[in-house]
A = this chain, B = another copy of it.
């Protein structure tokens, strides 16, 4: 019993090693430029071992992107659904949740934010592709719902909720990407504060006075 437990633990840790190395490399170099050999080396295992746990390179990639997207998606749906809460607060909550997701698992976040449908269109089945697209869309939809609520409740100006959600979403992604580059160059970490500043500006921009 102890043995089988340990085996299970080891197997899971092996999978985790592969997933972690894969996520980090896919994020750093992109799908095409990352080789299975790279991932194996980073995980300190052999090439073959990866194929014990993942059917193929794109299977590994999909298995990284999908649950991450799914997790974030579920989180945002929950937050956006709290109709009783003030829309401004809900927007902040969405941003907080996304930042927390990013903070806890940056590689997963990057896979999500860097996801490019075009790369996958040749690799994944129609089903999987549509599923990923749906998840991506869902995140934006949640923001849209909250903004829409705010407009209806007269808290926000009469503006296009769709457009506004796009602005917020891409501002978030862009800021993270930008501040990370600065971080790499040894500069101070302004990620969280820049995000907060951006939210402040945008809320001010959409708020009804």
Show the binding face of A for B, using Cβ within 8 Å: 28-30, 32-33, 116-119, 159-160, 163-164, 166-167, 169-171, 173-175, 177-179, 181, 190, 193-194, 197-198, 200-206
Contact = CB atoms under 8 A, between A and B. Distances in A.
A175 B170 contact: yes
28 contacts: A28-B118, A29-B118, A30-B30, A30-B118, A30-B119, A33-B119, A159-B197, A160-B194, A160-B197, A163-B190, A163-B198, A166-B174, A166-B175, A167-B175, A167-B198, A167-B202, A169-B174, A170-B171, A170-B173, A170-B174, A170-B175, A170-B178, A173-B174, A200-B205, A201-B205, A201-B206, A202-B202, A202-B205
Select the residue from A119, A170, A197, A203 with max chain B CB neighbours within 10 A: A170
